[in-house]
Structure 1
């Protein structure tokens, strides 16, 4: 049966007459009568008995009215829930971010979102870009902060890319060491190196080889705090992006901008159309605003 006719029947039953229902629904009495007759044909019998004083329910009408009330209530609750989501009084955004972005870009953006829309919740999972990308594709998260070296991620059309900023790479050296004022390739070739995640390590190797030497990799860690502590204790040198150094800066390391090690392109990825969801769009806007504010203050 047509649910619209069921709700029309409910209006007639609750108002007590076809004319009253027509007024409530903003239509004509003849239109209500026509739709009601069609519904009765669908259910196989009369639902109302018309009298000079209005209408009374048949046994079938009483049974259907109970179900119609449930449908009406469910639609009302759905309308309230959808309204809350549209007005950002409710909603959940699932976010993935690589470690340095999770430490620097995410907290102020989520705080700003909570300040403006306390009913919207953000859940965060910390993960590296390949896994974050896969999580968005699988529908496990709504938006992910990712990065790529020396250019945006390769666009295969599977996800939408929203650029945030381009960050420089820095050489990180021990203050207590004997690094020359101008660090050259020969000096770097003699040093032990601390490498990061697989993608970061491959980028480091490619840059060193392009400069004409093979780095001597001694230590590996994905944790930029561990990496800087190793460097501070004279156990190697490394390269870190700007966000990692903003998240944590060891007082006993020397940081020098190095164009030879390229740059990182940081941005967001999401499934097509996801930015039309109010809560997701609101979080993305605050991430963008945070990067803009950070850039203007630096």
Structure 2
């Protein structure tokens, strides 16, 4: 079995494979530019969209800072199988593959087997969006080929009958972020779909960061600056982190105080993580597999 190639955290911009969409996405400089063959394409247009997506990914500039990706259709469907065959035949390398409706590790491993002969270096990521998947996180996250996970709030809410609110999605989001941290892979929160509510997006992105997600999806380039700001430590957080680390260094392993709070090993580790994110944009949780 192949080893996972880890996906980036940060901003994931999801767009249909229409003319000009990939170029516009790359100009917005997301961490991942993801073409969507599933929800963004009606059933009658999937064959055409698949051909267009593979052509766009093949012709994309190699100097782009963004990782290029493709959300395929579910592997258990005819169009999902066609997507995998097209990817394998294209020989695309280093193209992230997002697999929807994942409910078992076996589904991910079948995708890896289909691609491993030609599409080496492909990060395979799972879209967690069903109640059954939430009950099987241990199995899914234990897969050696899993390189990242994305929460699909819209499908999850539709399947459970819940509203897409902070309180109703709290358990699902917390479970996914915690499981990803435990397995050392990036976790990407669901996009925020109201394009005319920047304050709602800001609040939603901050909640995702606070729950432990390492990034968030977007459905429009205008959403990216707000998401970046939410996931970047504030000046006050960085200053407090430096104070905690300095106090710990002076204490030489003993308990100390910084800013009125006791400083022990967990707080020091968290402070160093904040400084690390502020310095280079990486997250200490995303360490599993090859880079």
TM range (shorter): under 0.3
TM-score (norm 1): 0.19
Rg larger for: 1
More strand by share: 1
